[in-house]
Amino acid sequence: MPTALPGLHPEARAAEAALFALADASKAQTAARYFQSGPGQYGEGDQFLGIRVPVIRETARQFNTLTLDHCAALLQSPYNEVRLLALDVMVRRFAKGKLDVQTAVYACFMQNRARVNNWNLVDSAAPYISGPYLLQGDRSILWELARSSVLWERRIAVLSTFAFIRAGDFVDALTLYAQLLADPHDLMHKACGWMLREVGKRDAAQLRTFLHTHYAALPRTTLRYAIERFDAPQRQAMLRGEFERV
């Protein structure tokens, strides 16, 4: 039986219990391996209930009245799925809320970002909370996050820029990726490559310019992700550095 968090409000306790009732030990073991939660791995210590994401999101919709305090409490859970449920509630609260609500959700997200500590959690929340919030305001926190020694804070910085890209705002995003070219972690190489691919969907010329300018320093993983949508001859030319053919 999973271990319950102490001191939860009854509604938060009900949300936790609803997920516990769906737990599957076999799937939990598979998830633990997939999210690399073993000793020395990027998700070390993360625990899983073994619940598929669509089921978690459907369960979260049953608890729309959870407050931000309830969500913050649930984010302290050792179980990845419980934290994901809390973030899903927060994302929908942000999307439907006015500025005061969005500010409160953003503050809750940032205050509890130490609990947003696996890539699925970052990717499910940063593009929809911190990204849209920072799109219209002071973005200096992005550069602080990008300099963090914590992998997940750096990934929050990168995934937040997805909101900028969707708005056609590429300058800060591309500047950030350039500063992260030497990041030591492959998960960051993948994240930057993914976001570059999204830039390319909207402005192929900007993507080609970035790749040409930074080719010598680009991690191979970043390049491969960035050029996934190019046709095969273009991808091969890019991988060989033959930009004049693209």
Residues of the chain with pLDDT under 50: none
Q: What is the pLDDT of residues 118-165, one digit of tens each?
A: 999 999 999 999 999 999 999 999 999 999 999 999 999 999 999 999
Of 185, 180, 177, which Cα lies nearest the Cα of 207?
177
Q: How much is the pLDDT for 244?
A: 61
Cβ(163)–Cβ(132) below 8 Å: yes
Cβ(162)–Cβ(128) below 8 Å: no
Q: How much is the pLDDT for 242?
A: 79
130: DSSP letter: H
Q: Enumerate the domain spans of the chain.
A: 1-120, 126-238
Q: How much is the pLDDT for 100?
A: 97
User: Which of 3.30.565.10, 1.25.10.90, 3.30.70.890, 3.40.50.720 is the CATH number of 126-238?
Assistant: 1.25.10.90
Cβ(206)–Cβ(199) below 8 Å: yes
CA separation, residue 109 to residues 90, 97, 168 (Å) = 8, 15, 25
Q: How much is the pLDDT for 239?
A: 87
Q: How much is the pLDDT for 92?
A: 98
Check if 1-120 and 126-238 are the same fold: yes
Q: What is the pLDDT of residues 189-204, one digit of tens each?
A: 999 999 999 999 999 9
Q: How much is the pLDDT for 16?
A: 98
Looking at the domain 1-120, which fold is it? Answer: Leucine-rich Repeat Variant (1.25.10)
Q: How much is the pLDDT for 42?
A: 97
Q: How much is the pLDDT for 238?
A: 87
Cβ(79)–Cβ(35) below 8 Å: no
